[in-house]
Amino acid sequence: MEPVRAKVCGLTRAEDALAAERLGAWAVGFVFAPSKRRVTPEQAAAIGARLGPFVMRVGVFVDAPPDEVLAVARTARLGAVQLHGREPPEWAEALRRHLPVIKAVRLSGPPDPALLTYPADALLADGPRPGSGEAYDWGWLEPLADHPRLIVAGGLSPERLPELFARLCPYAVDVSSGVESAPGVKDEARLRAFLQRVRRGCG
C-alpha cells in the first residue's frame, strides 16, 4: 500500500515542529506571506535547525518574485517552495532550477485542467482562503485525479480524514488550522490524531 505523506503547515514554534517530526510528518511549512502565521526567514531557519535531516522544510510564498524566494530559501534553509498566488509558469521554471516547487491552487470551483501542465513537482489543492480551515467540494478534484503528486489541503482535520480517504487517496495531505488551538499554535493531541490517521493510509 502506498503511504500517504503529511505536511504540517503554518509552524511558528520549534516545539510544534518537533512534535510534528516525532509524530510522523514528512514535511513542515513556514509561511512567508502576509498571515497570522508569518515567520521571518531567520525564525524558520532556527526552527528548522532543531529538526532531523529527513523532514522537508517547505516555504510558502504568495506572488513573490523568484529572486526574493531564493534569497529567503537560502536564509531559511528550505528544501522546497510552495507557490500560493498567481505566479506565472516562468517563475516556477526559474525556481525549479534550484528547488522542488509545489504549486498551490485556491479552489472556489473545479480547477482549470490546464493546471496539469503547470511546471511543478506537485500540485496542492487548497481551500479558497488558505489557512482559514475553509473546505471545498472534493468532487472538484476530479480533473486533477490523474496527477501523480496531488496534495490535498483546505479544511482538513482528524475528523475529516476518514471521509477524504474513503473518496480518494492523494499523494499527500496538508493541514494547518485543523490541528491548531490558535493561529500558529499547534495542538499536540489533534496533531497526533491527524498524523496517526494519515499513517494508517487509505486502505
Closer to ligand LARABZUK by Cβ: residue 66 or 130: 130
Whether 202 is catalytic is no
| E strands present in 20-149 | 27-31, 56-61, 80-83, 101-106, 122-126
d(CA 116, CA 174) in angstroms, rounded, equals 19
* 87 in contact with ligand LARABZUK (CB under 6 A): no
Q: Is 173 in the site for ligand LARABZUK (CB under 6 A)?
A: no
CA distance 63 to 80: 16
Task: Map the footprint of ligand LARABZUK across residues 37-76, applying CB under 6 A.
Answer: 37, 60, 62
Comparison of 1 and 68: residue with beta carbon closer to ligand LARABZUK? 68
Applying CB under 6 A, among 19, 23, 31, 122 the residue interacting with ligand LARABZUK is 31
Please provide residue 116's backbone torsions phi and psi, each rounded to the nearest 5 degrees: -65, -20
Nearest residue to 132 via CA among 115, 156, 99: 156
Site string for ligand LARABZUK, 109-148 (x = CB under 6 A): -----------------xx--xxxx---------------
- Whether 126 is catalytic is yes
Q: Residue 12 or 66: which CB sits closer to ligand LARABZUK?
A: 12
Tell whether residue 10 is a contact of ligand LARABZUK (CB under 6 A): yes
Smaller CB separation from ligand LARABZUK, 57 or 177? 177
Quote the cell numbers at residue 77: 534553509
Distance CA 149, CA 145 (A): 9
Quote the strand ranges of the chain, DSSP E: 5-8, 27-31, 56-61, 80-83, 101-106, 122-126, 150-152, 172-175, 180-182, 185-186
The catalytic residues are 9, 126
Applying CB under 6 A, which residues contact ligand LARABZUK? 9-10, 29, 31, 33, 35, 37, 60, 62, 84, 126-127, 130-133, 153-156, 174-178
